[in-house]
Structure 1
Amino acid sequence: MSLPRVTTKAPPNVDPVKASPAYGICALPKINREINHEDLHTRQKALNLLSDMLHSPNNIVEAIRVGIVKSLKLVIKDTDDHVRVKSTENMSILSGHAKGREALLAINVIEPLSSLFEDKVYQVRYSVHSVLETLTCSGEGAMYAIDCGLIPRFVERLEFEENSVKELILGSLHNCMTRDTVDALGCSAMTTLVSLLKHESPKIRGKAARGIMALTFPLKGKECAVSENAIPDLVELLDDSSHVVRANACGALMSITITTQGKKETLKWGVIPKLVPLICDPTPEVQLNAIKALTTLSEHPSGRESLSDTVDKLTDISARSSDEYIRRAAEVAVKTITWKP
């Protein structure tokens, strides 16, 4: 006669690291305690459950109140890969909310996150840079990253990272360079950004061009762009199929051509025949930046002469455009091109 036996195996389709939440207001305090538990399996289950709960915005404020942000800061350096993946992923979710960003910046999380730049797990690095890109969007976050010396490290990681992570790094780098370009110019950021203008990914090409635009705000940056041969690659990008790439390439050229040296070097590469069609581009940002770039080029005698046939088009744009900024830019362009000493 056979006897009934209770199996020790887990039921099928059951996640062994999936915890059951506590009831109501006890859920997040319990998770916070278990995140700090000495048992690895308990920490894993708590972080998995937290990931599910944070997707509800209603739980963000409560999670911050019970101290979960501080607990995450402690476990991002855990020796277990899964714990680091889930803790940085939860930080990424938190950074998507205003209160979450405030809480992360309040505990100075940027520097500890930077210690994971070379983590062996791709998902950890992706989440880390996702958090940093979001936090550096604010002035406080960008300045804290600059003070931590992250600009040179961002530039360095651009040479080694996966494309998806490169996009995030370029975002953080741009956010920091809009506040301070000194560190970037001092660590050869221009050289790295110029090399990315020919990248196969349009997102990376566009963000590299945007980075050059930010880096050329000061005079030293404009001179550096000329010496690093950024101009021919930017001119080539004016024909790019991506409107984001075209817009940022126009913007970078607009910034570089403010100087006389920039005008001369840019005109050498036959830029005007490529820019003129873009003043009628269907994308407003491309159109605006193209008009502004032509305006700065028209301040040079040879540029003004080449653009004399474009006055009618610009006049029509200034009269018909529904975009106030484009209309004003076209008016300024006409005045600059038709100016006579």
Structure 2
Amino acid sequence: MFTERLNRIAAAGTADGYVRILLADARMLNIKAKPHTAELEEVCLSPGITVPDTEAWENEDSIELWLAGQSGGGSVYLDVPVEAVRDLIQEHGGEHADQDDVDFPPVDYQIHPLHRDGNYPVHRGTQRIGRIVRRGNRWQVLARGENQWTGNFPGPEEAADHLLELADIAAGRVTTAEEDLRAALAVHGLTPSRDQDPAMYREPQTWLNIGPGEGGAFPEEGAEPYVSVYLRDPDYTCEIAINRPVRDSDEWVIVFGFGEPDEDGPVEVDGRRFTGRDTRALAAYIADWHRNPLAVRAKALAEHRARRMAALIAIGHLPA
């Protein structure tokens, strides 16, 4: 019998409060837990629920039940193993189909119990789409068929959402931002090159480069102007991604790069910003740059120097 709600509680925790599990026989559990735990801090049982006389249930507490949002009697147990609570739920017919969705809204995946290897398998229906694991205070994912843990997610729900997104991409149900932008640039005769920083233990960074030469190849440092473009969620400003689907909240980031004879590396300045859904407008903007990159180079460099001068004046390093 699958205890979906208990699995999610054990993985995500309950913050500083309690989360209810309604049982199939209409009785109730109120649970308090830390994230990624094999033992639940508090398990508050509604009247009519009895527990076996085992070590798992030996730590009964007299805490006032109203703290857990429960009234009318019952009992409270501390530090109860998740597996003991799972057995109790199954004795009462499992979890009720109608649960309070405030804490854990319905999702299209199922987080399975903690595996002995320390990770949680994630399924969509009967198909396993990958695994999630907690490292420190962050979560990572291992998609099905992959061999490297990646990601930097705040909780198991966000990590599982990402696995679901990767499964949709692999199955061809959705397209990635890279595929969308490549198609839009192809209309203008441009073929970008893909670059990435597959850093371990954090979100891999992926982006596209467009150069003025044939095929849009990425130039060496100090060479002709180029454009780098990637997608990010404004709420997650350190993201640099091109290998996931576009979301309504996204924005495209454009970086103009060009080498200076007296500098070791390229100067990079930001271009215009576009919403995630404005892929065609973004492609047209890049095409305009591609037709006259030297003009863009001069304008971007002037704007870059003006911003640097204003910053130095603001901090008093230059006179106003």
TM (norm. structure 1) is 0.28
More helix, by proportion: 1
> As a proportion of its length, which structure holds more strand?
2
